[in-house]
C-alpha cells in the first residue's frame, strides 16, 4: 500500500505591472492588436495543437505551423476574455470595455522554458485593455515577464531570455498604442 505525500513550497518575488495610457480609442487599439496577432476566428493555437497531436510532429513542423499564425509584431493570439460582458452585472465599470488578451510566440517561450520550466506559468503573456472613462483613451496593462518568470530564479540565461520577451511585449504595446 502506498502513501501519498505532498510538499508545498512558496516563493516570494516582486512582479512589476506596466500601464501604458494612450489617447487612441479602445476600438483603434484593439483593431491594431488584431491586425498584428489575428482574431479569435483565426487563432492558430487549435491548428497547432492538432498538428502536435498528429502522428509524427517534429520541431521543424511545429515551428512551421506556428509561424503561419505569428503576426508582424512576432506574436499570435492564444485567447481572449471579454470581462465587459459580465462586469456590468455587478455594477463594475458598466460603460467601459475591459478585455484580457493572451498573446505569445511558442519559439520565444522555448528560449525561456529551456532554462526554467516553471516560467511556463507566465507564458503565454497577457495584457489587459481598458477603455478610458467616457470612452476617452485606452490603457494597456501588462506584467513584465522577467519579473514573473525570472523573479525567483537567478539563472543568467533565464534572465536574458525573459528580458528579451519584455522588450518584445513592449514593442507590441508601442505598436498598438502610438
At 11-53, the pLDDT tens digits run 888 899 999 999 999 999 999 999 999 998 888 888 899 999 9
Is residue 98 scored above 80 in pLDDT? yes
Residue 156 belongs to a domain: yes
Confidence at residue 169, expressed as pLDDT on a 0 to 100 scale? 97
Q: How confident is the model at residue 152 (pLDDT cuts 50, 70, 90)?
A: low
Confidence at residue 96, expressed as pLDDT on a 0 to 100 scale? 96
Q: What is the CATH number of the domain that holds 121?
A: 3.30.310.70
Say what the pTM is.
Answer: 0.91
Average the pLDDT over 68-97 and give the result: 95
Residue 65 belongs to a domain: no
Confidence at residue 135, expressed as pLDDT on a 0 to 100 scale? 85
Confidence at residue 177, expressed as pLDDT on a 0 to 100 scale? 98
Average the pLDDT over 168-172 and give the result: 97
Residue 63 belongs to a domain: no
Q: Let me know: does 166 contact 38? Beta carbons within 8 Å.
A: no
- Compute the distance between CA of residue 7 and CA of residue 23 in angstroms, rounded to an integer: 49
Residue 155 belongs to a domain: yes
Is residue 134 scored above 90 in pLDDT? no
Confidence at residue 168, expressed as pLDDT on a 0 to 100 scale? 96
Give the Cβ contact number of residue 54 at 10 Å: 10
Domain span holding position 99: 17-41+70-177
- Percent of the chain having pLDDT more than 70? 98
Is residue 2 scored above 80 in pLDDT? no
Residue 58 belongs to a domain: no
Who has greater pLDDT, 42 or 66?
A: 66
Is residue 68 scored above 70 in pLDDT? yes
Residue 6 belongs to a domain: no
Q: Let me know: does 107 contact 68? Beta carbons within 8 Å.
A: no
- Compute the distance between CA of residue 151 and CA of residue 16 in angstroms, rounded to an integer: 10
The number of distinct structural domains making up the chain is: 1
- Compute the distance between CA of residue 149 and CA of residue 92 in angstroms, rounded to an integer: 31
Residue 77 to residues 8, 14, 137, 142: CA-CA distances in angstroms? 33, 27, 23, 15
Amino acid at each position: 500500500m502506498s502513501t501519498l505525500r505532498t510538499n508545498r513550497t512558496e516563493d516570494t518575488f516582486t512582479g512589476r505591472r506596466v500601464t501604458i495610457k494612450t489617447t487612441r480609442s479602445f476600438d483603434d487599439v484593439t483593431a491594431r492588436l488584431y491586425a498584428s496577432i489575428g482574431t479569435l476566428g483565426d487563432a492558430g493555437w487549435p491548428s497547432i495543437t492538432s498538428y502536435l497531436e498528429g502522428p509524427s510532429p517534429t520541431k521543424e513542423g511545429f515551428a512551421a505551423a506556428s509561424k503561419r499564425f505569428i503576426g508582424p509584431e512576432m506574436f499570435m493570439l492564444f485567447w481572449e476574455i471579454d470581462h465587459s460582458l459580465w462586469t456590468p452585472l455587478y455594477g463594475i465599470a458598466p460603460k467601459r470595455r475591459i478585455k484580457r488578451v493572451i498573446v505569445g510566440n511558442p519559439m520565444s517561450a522555448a528560449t525561456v522554458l529551456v532554462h526554467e520550466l516553471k516560467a511556463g506559468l507566465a507564458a503565454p503573456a497577457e495584457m489587459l485593455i481598458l477603455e478610458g472613462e467616457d470612452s476617452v483613451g485606452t490603457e494597456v496593462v501588462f506584467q513584465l515577464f522577467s519579473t514573473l518568470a525570472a523573479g525567483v530564479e537567478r539563472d543568467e540565461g533565464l534572465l536574458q531570455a525573459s528580458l528579451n520577451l519584455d522588450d518584445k511585449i513592449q514593442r507590441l504595446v508601442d505598436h498598438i498604442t502610438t
